[in-house]
Chain A
Amino acid sequence: MTAISTDFIQLLSPLGERMPHADFDPWLADIDTAALAALYEDMVVVRRIDTEATALQRQGELGLWPPLLGQEAAQIGSARALRDDDYVFPSYRENGVAYCRGVGLTDLVKVWRGSAQSGWDPASVRMATPAIIIGAQTLHATGWALGARFDGADSVAVTYFGDGATSEGDVNEALVFAASFQVPVVFFCQNNQWAISEPVGVQAHADIASRAPGFGIPSLRVDGNDVLAVMAATRIALDRARTGNGPTFIEAVTYRMGPHTTADDPTRYRDPADLAAWGRRDPVLRLRALLERLGHLTPEFEAQIAARADAVAAELRAGCIALPDPPALSVFDHVYATPHAGLDRQRDEYAGYLAGFDAAPTEPTAATQPVASTPKGSL
């Protein structure tokens, strides 16, 4: 079993003890019991979304699902620190972040059902469509932040990526650009210890957070299963960005408790002892323990949270199953913003081809253009 590095900032112990921290505590002054309860609800609901979506995949309703089980604190703690006018550039596992940004439940699973390639309108929730090519989004966030700096806005770009992504050229180039132009961007690395089957040690020979200073970017390493440490760190980074102090790198040390995706089998490469050890560091349970210590964990409160989670799960399931298949010809939509003669022709030809399946033609030649992109006319 791998030793868990605890060389990070922790404000909430796995047992739910609140650990004082002189630098971080001031950033959490507004987090009272009600705020803690709200964070707890978020985390429970997001976990429920995750398990429901995993079940939907097993039941054939989703093609694939990338579980975030174990990363709830990293996602909720950071996302709840953002302002509405900030902009998120995520990877594909940030469904907890998307929930916090106000993405609809059905929109959350659209991509994974294969109904669309983007589940939401990025502009309305201020969150880009997830990048599946690893690390690509970090450059997009840097560019967005460059624009924000040019515009004199105090909005911040926050980009999420994993430990594996830090090996990609794009992420390293993003760090170079962000430092060069001192743009308001937060690099939020969820080190969940695994790039599919590869332990983080394959990607990094030293802690990931230690890399950023080499690029001239200050970094923070926090317990990613501690929602309070994550939130404080994110607030610090956001503040630096808003006040013209450039980029910050956060490494949130967490653990991917589930498979990489529903198509993965972690038993082939993961020590069950590791899983058990990280299970004792569960982000939801430790916040629950804190609430219990604070006397807030009443049966009524628990029932209320459970009901909320059930309702969200039911709504997610119903919305997912009711998602209509996109119409056939929509396959041609939105390739270009302006009309495109070549594609228009392919669409017309395919429409004619499909029409042939429907009914007897009125004109024998009307619906007999079967093949895409072949010249019309006689042979």
Chain B
Amino acid sequence: MSPIRVFALPDLGEGLTESEIVAWHVAPGDTVTLNQHIADVETAKAVVELPSPYAGVVQQLHQPEGVTVHVGDPIVSFDVAAAAGVEADAAPGPVTPDVTPAETPVAPAAPVAATAERTANLVGYGAETERSGRPQRRPRPGHAPTPRRQPAPVGAAPSGLAAVGTDAPAPAPSAPAPSAPSAPGAERPRSTPPVRRLARDLHIDLGQIRGTGRGGLITRDDVRTAVAAPAPGTPAPAVPVDVVAVEPAPTESGVRETRTPIKSLRKLTAAAMVRSAFTAPHVTEFLTVDVTATLDLLEGLEQSRARTGGAHRVGILALTAQALCIAVARTPSVNTRWDDAAGEIVQFHGVNLGIAAATPRGLMVPVIRNADGLSLAGLAVALADLTATAKVGSTTPQALGGGTITITNIGVFGIDAGTPILNPGEAAILAMGAIRRLPWEYRGEVALRSVLTLSLSFDHRLVDGEQGSRFLADIGRILADPGQVLALLPGR
């Protein structure tokens, strides 16, 4: 053992962290005996006499008088070899540094390793001294945490993860000031542990799903639907019809179904689509239509209703809904669902028409069941009921499930066109723009006409471009010239 012993300031009483050297009673070169009174030290609790822990010659006083010293800091060194063998080692027996916390042998010329001593001095004695430097955990080679996942394990929004170390306020090196508890603005999507597990297994980001359960809870079916549906992609919707999940629940739809096995080509296409789910799942097409004739028709109907006392005014939405139902009959592929789990395409034999609605509880898509079986007046009544119910927030969960295709009327917001995002589990969604009075070609001349733009998004796995285009064109033809309905009606 080195003949030099460095003595570090111990905790002199129940959790003290520092003490002041009031007076030294020895100087370098002095010979001291064991327990000789070498200094007076003042703590927060008392002035105490410090007895020398060694017999030997004082080599160095590390701290001058009047200085406040942290527990664990070296204060004096002794040359114990100089004690001529008399109690040269004050600690006979199997001494290891671990059990002599206040003692750290160092080479005579070596600088004092204050940090190491401080750590060694902590075990069981006194409050932990304030650590200098930024806190860090001890290495645990036997336990290597898995690297931070990108994205986070479950449901953490990618943006949230990216925020770590970037725009999110990482704790500052100095202690941040206390603040009020975080505002509940940035809440996580709500779900239950098994559903989170399912979502993690299926690589579904819960932050991108709108729940259909009680109070918007994300259900197991919502996750499954999200898998089946094209994931939200680019570009971001410019209208408040962004991401909507509805319960597909074909068995609840009350509509007859035909199931066609997904054949190999379709399956391959689908796999590709799923892989690109977050990039380009949708096709969106636009069609601008002169609806002046339709508005004339609606005006006539309204006058007729005033005379006969009909239940509800028929509006452009009801007429569009009817046009959609008629067009569906000509292009059934827009009224289908991709059932990935079953490996089947589900063809709906009826239209459960979802109507996107802004409500006090947020965006909802209540459903008009068997819309294709309703008259124009019937559709108007259903729409009025549905709108009234949604506006007061009393839409039932049953009314929200089972849609097969959706209309969103962005025109009420004064918007012309957009790229609506499909409801998961559906193959098409139609957005109606605002009706504008615009200069338009009419019978070979420019005239002021009532014009609106239709935007149709469809699932390219289920709907080919030709089918989608025909479907949109059919709706456009009806709105441009309602009499065309007669030409488009299927045989019954």
Contacts and interface: CB of A to CB of B under 8 A. Distances in A.
B45 A58 contact: no
Given A60-B125, A356-B143, A361-B143, A322 B47 contact: no
Nearest to B13: A263
A268 B99 CA distance: 34
B317 interface: no
Given A59-B53, A63-B124, A324 B144 contact: no
B143 A367 contact: yes
A330 to B, nearest CB: 13
A379 B193 contact: yes
Contacts of B101: 60-61
Contact of B102 (A59, A268, A322, A358): A59
Nearest to B9: A60
A357 B48 contact: no
Contacts of A261: 13
A114 interface: yes
A321 B124 contact: no
Contact of A357 (B47, B92, B139): B139
A273 interface: no
Interface in B39-83: 45-51, 53
Contacts of A55: 35, 51
Nearest to A324: B99
A325 B45 contact: no
Contacts of A364: 144
A353 B8 CA distance: 31
B93 A264 contact: no
B180 to A, nearest CB: 29
Contact of B48 (A58, A114, A322): A58
B236 interface: no
Given A322-B93, A370-B143, A58 B10 contact: yes
Contacts of B53: 59-61
B142 A325 contact: no
Contacts of B124: 63, 114, 325
B294 interface: no
A286 interface: no
B91 A318 contact: yes
B32 to A, nearest CB: 13
A54 B125 CA distance: 15
Interface in A278-337: 317-319, 321-325
Contacts of A325: 98-99, 123-124
A318 B47 CA distance: 27
A265 B141 contact: no
Nearest to B142: A356
Interface string A38-74: 0000000000000110110111110110000000000
B7 interface: yes
Given A114-B124, A325-B99, A357-B142, A59 B91 contact: no
Contacts of A318: 91-93
Contacts of B13: 64, 261-264
Contact of B91 (A51, A321, A378): A321
Interface string A107-118: 000000010000
Interface in B92-127: 92-95, 98-102, 121, 123-126
Nearest to A64: B14
B474 interface: no
Contacts of B222: none
A1 interface: no
A172 interface: no
A360 B142 contact: yes
A324 B35 CA distance: 23
B80 to A, nearest CB: 14
Interface string A342-379: 00000000000101111111001001101000000011
Contacts of A61: 10, 53, 100-102
Contacts of B10: 58-61
Contacts of B168: none
Interface size class of A (residues with CB under 8 A): 35 or more
B142 A359 contact: yes
Nearest to B51: A55
- Residue in A60, A268, A367 with the greatest tally of chain B CB atoms within 10 Å: A60
Contacts of B100: 61, 321
B92 A58 contact: no
Contacts of B35: 51-52, 55
B51 A357 contact: no
B471 to A, nearest CB: 45
B141 A60 contact: no
A259 interface: yes
B91 A322 contact: yes
Nearest to B100: A321
A368 B142 CA distance: 8
Interface in B137-165: 138-144, 154
Contacts of B142: 355-361, 367
Given A60-B102, A321-B100, A357 B140 contact: yes
A52 B48 CA distance: 15
B365 to A, nearest CB: 32
B484 to A, nearest CB: 58
B288 to A, nearest CB: 52
B34 to A, nearest CB: 8
Contacts of B154: 379
A5 interface: no
A263 B91 contact: no
B125 A63 contact: yes
Contact of A263 (B45, B94, B98, B140): B45
B438 interface: no
Contact of A323 (B47, B99, B125, B126): B99
B93 A319 contact: yes
A291 B180 CA distance: 75
B205 interface: no
B11 interface: yes
Interface string A242-278: 0000000000000000010111110110000000000
Nearest to A356: B143
A319 B99 CA distance: 11
Contacts of B49: 58
A60 B45 contact: no
Contacts of B325: none
B12 interface: yes
Given A263-B14, A357-B141, A370-B143, A60 B8 contact: yes
B90 A317 contact: yes
Contacts of A59: 7, 10, 50-51, 53, 102
Given A58-B48, A59-B51, A59-B53, 15 more contacts: A51-B35, A55-B35, A58-B49, A59-B50, A61-B10, A63-B11, A259-B46, A263-B12, A263-B13, A264-B13, A264-B45, A318-B91, A321-B99, A357-B143, A359-B142
19 contacts: A51-B35, A54-B51, A55-B51, A60-B8, A64-B13, A114-B125, A261-B13, A262-B48, A264-B13, A268-B46, A317-B90, A321-B91, A322-B94, A358-B141, A359-B142, A361-B144, A367-B143, A379-B154, A379-B193
Interface of A: 51-52, 54-55, 57-61, 63-64, 114, 259, 261-265, 267-268, 317-319, 321-325, 353, 355-361, 364, 367-368, 370, 378-379
Of all A-B residue pairs in the complex, the 3 with the closest CB atoms, nearest first, are A60-B10, A265-B46, A263-B13
